[in-house]
Structure 1
Amino acid sequence: MPQPAFLLVLVLPALLIALAAVLLLRAARFRPDPAVLESPSGGEPVSVDADAAAGRLSLLIRKRTVSVREPEAAVRAEFRSLLDLLPELYPAAHMALEREIVNGRTLLYRWRGEEAEAPTVLMSHFDVVPAEEEGWIHPPFSGAIADGRVWGRGAIDTKGTLVCILEAVEQLIQAGFQPRRDVYLSFCDDEEIAGDGAPTHVRLLQERGIRPGLVVDEGGAVVEGIFPGVRGPIAVVGVAEKGVSDFELIVRGAGGHASAPPRLGTAYRLARAIRRLERRPPKPFFPPPTRDMLDTLGRRSSFGYRILFANLGLLEPLLARLFHRLSPETRALSSTTIAVTTLQGSPAANVLPAEARAGANVRVAVGETAEGVAARMRRVIADDAVELRIVRAGDPSPVSTTREEPYRIVAAAIRGTYPEAAVTPYVMLGGSDSRHFAAICPYVYRFTPYELSREERETIHAANESLPVRSLGKGIEFYIRLIRSV
């Protein structure tokens, strides 16, 4: 009678060959739907004057609309000056649309369509983060147009988007176009400080019984080289946002003179807690929107990668760990992230800190909660002397579907503008004002309609933020196509 070990030697190779055959067959069949690859006509061809739009963006960049919690009178004047300038730049839009200045500082426009039900909301913000002049090729508030680009704070984030929307509206109105449904433009002045502008707009629409059928805000863009095995441009559309939370770690002690330090002092225990969090990061996994992204882009990847993505159900734990190690971006896509950003201790080199503090910015993955993350962090730190306090709890936004008409409208406008780009959902890593609109609309999407290189993306909130004039023109084209379709 054959021995079990002998049988295993006979059967195991056959099982491995069968498994390999299944994996390869699934990979061979794992191809994009031909209908999805077809670029829609997008209606009539779109022609825009990107150079003229660049001039208007330049004027808006010169307004120093820097977000701070308590702005001085000079700063408030810059915001008012921008509000006053818009009617001069876009006269047709301001004749045709109803403009409402909410709370004396934010803008809500209504463009009446043939129907009022399920309107579209297009969003942008006109506040910017601070910018020091050091390190800039052109001063951050110069609005310089040079080397085929518009330079300055807000060129990408997001005065450029505001210009694209208003340019599209202006051009369509001049052509005699009327939308089928109402279109609202929601422009706020405090997105960069997570202010109450967008929540106020949401409450206002709620009180008026308005439930949007589609909301589009800043978010993903057309990018390359971010997904393993995929060549060519990818248009990433945010269907959800990670939660943004702020935590604080606090250790208290006696303090005293540094000449006679105790064992396990406050600074040491805080440092040990941070090290433990670094060594045991949150478990990697793929929430549903990320699985959708892997399915969409995996079908366009090289064959070796398709073997992996075609068999995601079997290989997900392995792939999630791979994404966790590949790069900071893929790590953020596959887990909650914890970034220690501030540290406080003793005010002097020879004084022991009576209290040591660390601030941590936590981006909560879809499917998790801030409270759940805090509970896990306490277990990992495993030190009762370290107090973990939630300063601000922000859970992930709801996930907007990719299987209904609103998403298809956005995807079609992208493919009409960027025919070579593969359109895919993803979870947005940053926060935007659009998360507030999830309370009144299940179809909230986040897409910035530019081709952005890694270098260009890295200038957002940094030196030398600038936008190619050509990209500005493509952004206007996207909004024209979108408005025509809704």
Structure 2
Amino acid sequence: MTSDPVEVLRRLVRHATVSHRDPDQDDVAAFEGQHATLAEAFPLVHEHLERTRVGRHGLLLRWPGSDPAADPVVLMAHQDVVPVADPAAWSHPPFGGDLGPGADGEEAVWGRGTLDDKGPLVAVWAAVEALLEQGHVPARDVWLSSGADEEVAGTDAHEAVAELRRRGVTPWFVVDEGGAVAGGAFPGVAAPLAVIGVGEKGTTRLELVARGAGGHASTPARGGPTARIARAVVRLDRASMPPRLPSPTVELFRRLRPHASAPLRAALRPLLADARLRPVLTRLLLAAGPETAAMARTTVAVTTLSGSPAHNVVAATATAGLDVRVMAGDTVDDAVAHVRRTIRDDDVEVRVVEAGGPSPLSPYDDPAFALLERTTAAIFPEAVPTPYLMMAATDARHFHAICERVYRFTPLRMSKAQRESIHAHDEHLGTAALRAGVAWWTRLLEDLP
């Protein structure tokens, strides 16, 4: 291979490709510089694959396969990253691409995007480059889709889908970022879980708005906008939506049970055998921590707050932004009704800023999913491959419009600490994990039927 994937990732991290809801705020030079780095690092990809630009910085590339009649596959990884809130909180510069010991003591690349989603981007492109170098031709067309506005729910993925639809492309399956080879994913299970997302929660944005007279801070009145918003936030923090147990989560428990500790294995036996005991299984998820609890219900997170523009002014308007992740089986209307019922204040307006329901569920009992399982077993024999319902949103959700099998899996080993660093500080990816990710994609491409 022309370029070492570790060095390529280090170089990509140094391009601060932060996306914004207003695309005019994007650093065009950062995105174009990243494209130049990709072209230099993966010359065979750029020589042999047909390249189409989507949106301002998105890329769609086609690798022709040996059977043009076979339905192609689409492999996805986005180019953009989220902003860095506090660079001082990082152990290494967030856009430095430094090499250093990771959380497990092994060598790692540090920086924003190493896990989300430049590491996965390098892994899949490096696999394609290596196979091209060997003269490999895939059994069917392979499309690489790499949007540049995923973090702001932009339009690149829409445009990629529209382009594929215009060409009459109906993918056999799509794989985007998502679940990982997750260590420490569930208490009582020592083996890592290779969680493959077969669906994802919907992403909905709500805003709470309270209005009042405002005025000078020296003569405040009780029950003003900020007080009403604060009370609403506290009530939401204390009330959760009813839990649910979708079928992929039940299957996850079935698959992890043989690998669980003896007490957990014994406890799970009756819970899985008798559907009437599923509420107990749900409570087990809720008690295991926020990562697993989010698998069992629609979540409501207060993410932004605003009030007075000045220290000595009583706010005439106060707002709170809510990020709602809608579970399969719930609807946006269900979530809005829960918020209204919980805050119990008709003087607080509940505005729907952006409505997004849960995705359809992709099958996990057919040849496409079986290929992902076999590939995972070959590269990560220590892991338990299992379907699950993904909590975060991805560009993949748009591909349900043209494909029945849309999966979300990042073939990288990630510790709990690493997973918690995504969109936070000290994001880093082990170099051995990156190379294993390249091996996973290589094996998948070689084994395409």
Matched, 1:385 2:347: yes
What is the CA deviation profile of residues 187-229 of structure 1, one whole-angstrom value per residue up to 9, with x for unaligned ones?
Answer: 1111111111111000110111111001111111112222132
The corresponding residue for 2:402 is 440
Distance 2:196 2:41 in 1: 30
What is the CA deviation profile of residues 55-75 of structure 1, one whole-angstrom value per residue up to 9, with x for unaligned ones?
Answer: 122222222222123456982
1:307 CA drift (Å): 3.4
The corresponding residue for 2:283 is 321
What is the CA deviation profile of residues 48-94 of structure 1, one whole-angstrom value per residue up to 9, with x for unaligned ones?
Answer: 89x92211222222222221234569820221122223232112222
Q: Does the 8 A contact of 1:54 with 1:145 survive in 2?
A: no
The corresponding residue for 1:137 is 91
Q: Secondary structure at the match of 1:341?
A: strand
Q: Does the 8 A contact of 1:138 with 1:464 survive in 2?
A: yes
What is the CA deviation profile of residues 228-272 of structure 1, one whole-angstrom value per residue up to 9, with x for unaligned ones?
Answer: 321121111111111111111112222234455444333332222
Matched, 1:334 2:296: yes
Matched, 1:99 2:51: yes
Equivalent residue letter for 1:77: A
Matched, 1:404 2:366: yes
Distance 1:480 1:448 in 2: 14
Q: Does the 8 A contact of 1:143 with 1:150 survive in 2?
A: yes
Instruction: Work out the percentage of aligned pairs sharing the same amino acid.
Output: 45
What is the CA deviation profile of residues 13-32 of structure 1, one whole-angstrom value per residue up to 9, with x for unaligned ones?
Answer: xxxxxxxxxxxxxxxxxxxx
Query: 330-339 or 133-142: which moved more?
Result: 133-142
Equivalent residue letter for 1:168: A
1:104 CA drift (Å): 4.8
Describe the shift of the 1:71–1:389 C-alpha distance in structure 2 as closer, same or farther (beyond 3 A): closer
Q: Does the 8 A contact of 1:308 with 1:315 survive in 2?
A: no
Matched, 1:178 2:137: yes
Query: 131-140 or 428-437: which moved more?
Result: 131-140
Q: Does the 8 A contact of 2:19 with 2:26 survive in 1?
A: no
Distance 1:279 1:136 in 2: 32
Report how many residues are paired: 438
Q: Secondary structure at the match of 1:114?
A: coil
Matched, 1:118 2:80: no
Distance 1:344 1:470 in 2: 44
Distance 2:24 2:210 in 1: 36
Q: Secondary structure at the match of 2:27?
A: helix
After the TM superposition, which residues 15-30 of structure 1 pair with which residues of structure 2 at under 5 Å, given as runs?
Answer: none
Equivalent residue letter for 2:98: A
Describe the shift of the 1:383–1:164 C-alpha distance in structure 2 as closer, same or farther (beyond 3 A): same
Q: 2:315 aligns with which of 331, 338, 353?
A: 353
Distance 1:446 1:306 in 2: 27
The corresponding residue for 1:54 is 6
Describe the shift of the 1:134–1:384 C-alpha distance in structure 2 as closer, same or farther (beyond 3 A): same
Q: Secondary structure at the match of 2:346?
A: coil
CA RMSD across the alignment = 2.0
Equivalent residue letter for 1:384: D
User: Which is greater in Rg?
Assistant: 1
Distance 1:143 1:228 in 2: 33
Distance 1:259 1:93 in 2: 66
Equivalent residue letter for 2:332: A
Structure 2 residues not aligned, in runs of 5+: 102-106
Describe the shift of the 1:318–1:177 C-alpha distance in structure 2 as closer, same or farther (beyond 3 A): same
Q: 1:242 aligns with which of 187, 191, 201?
A: 201
The corresponding residue for 1:128 is 81
1:355 CA drift (Å): 1.9
Equivalent residue letter for 2:147: C
Q: Secondary structure at the match of 1:398?
A: coil
1:371 CA drift (Å): 1.5
Q: Output the TM-score relative to the length of structure 1.
A: 0.85
Distance 1:138 1:274 in 2: 35
Matched, 1:288 2:247: yes
Query: 89-98 or 307-316: which moved more?
Result: 307-316
Describe the shift of the 1:384–1:69 C-alpha distance in structure 2 as closer, same or farther (beyond 3 A): closer
Equivalent residue letter for 1:128: V
The corresponding residue for 2:39 is 87
Q: Secondary structure at the match of 1:317?
A: helix
Q: 1:462 aligns with which of 424, 427, 434?
A: 424
The corresponding residue for 2:333 is 371
Distance 2:308 2:349 in 1: 18
Equivalent residue letter for 1:95: E
Distance 1:329 1:203 in 2: 34
1:374 CA drift (Å): 0.3
Matched, 1:272 2:224: no
Q: Output the TM-score relative to the length of structure 2.
A: 0.92
Q: Does the 8 A contact of 1:152 with 1:466 survive in 2?
A: yes
Q: Secondary structure at the match of 1:125?
A: coil
1:273 CA drift (Å): 2.2
Q: Secondary structure at the match of 1:126?
A: coil
The corresponding residue for 1:7 is none
Equivalent residue letter for 2:9: L
Q: Secondary structure at the match of 1:134?
A: helix
The corresponding residue for 1:43 is none
Q: Does the 8 A contact of 1:220 with 1:428 survive in 2?
A: yes
Distance 2:47 2:226 in 1: 62
